[in-house]
Amino acid sequence: MEEAQKLRQREDDAVIDMLVVAASCADYNGQLTEGTEQAIAHVAGYLARSVTKKHVCESCHELLVNRGQGPLKNMRLEEDSEPMDGSGPGLMDAVKTFTELLNRGGLLCPSELAVHVTTDMYLMYRWLVQDEETRYALFGCSKPRAAFQKVAAVISQEDTRH
């Protein structure tokens, strides 16, 4: 039994190495629609709240949560509106507004860093599952979630070195 587990672990490690190489070479800087960006920001706020509840660290809170709460703005989405590229000042206003509209008292407005990291993870995951070879490799692992977490950690470490 132990031998089979070691074999699966070696196979998973080989798949992780392959996925890291594939994800490192990938160009996943695609445009996202405004709705997708706002949904990702909502998820980023949830993740920021989860982390700050679990880790009572003021520095972590400062990095993940945008404390500046402005007044509620009325936003209207046009049917033919252009996708946001994330570089404009309007993105954080849209994130705040989207968060405030959905808030029933427990949501946090995520920082730009939290939104950026969540967007990067979303784009990496989307790229890995859109390609047939990487999708089969990822979901063929004995623990796909752990494999993706390792791939994301390695890619993030490589990004900080550059």
Provide the residue ranges of all domains of the chain, joining segments of one domain with +. 31-111
Average pLDDT rounded to a whole number, residues 67-76:
48
Q: For residue 71, is pLDDT > 60?
A: no
Average pLDDT rounded to a whole number, residues 132-159:
91
HSE-CB at 15 with a 13 A cutoff on CA atoms is 25
Radius of gyration of the chain (CA): 18
Contact 18, 137 (CB under 8 A): yes
Q: Is 28 exposed, middle or buried (0-12, 13-18, 19+ CB in 10 A)?
A: middle
pLDDT at 162: 53
Residue 80's pLDDT band (cuts 50, 70, 90): very low
The closest alpha carbon to 9, from 152, 134, 142, 135, belongs to 142
pLDDT at 15: 92
pLDDT at 160: 65
Residue 55's pLDDT band (cuts 50, 70, 90): confident
What value does the mean pLDDT of the chain take?
Answer: 79
pLDDT at 17: 93
Average pLDDT rounded to a whole number, residues 67-94:
52
What is the rounded CA–CA span in Å between residue 138 and residue 68? 39
pLDDT at 146: 94
CA 49 to chain centre: 14
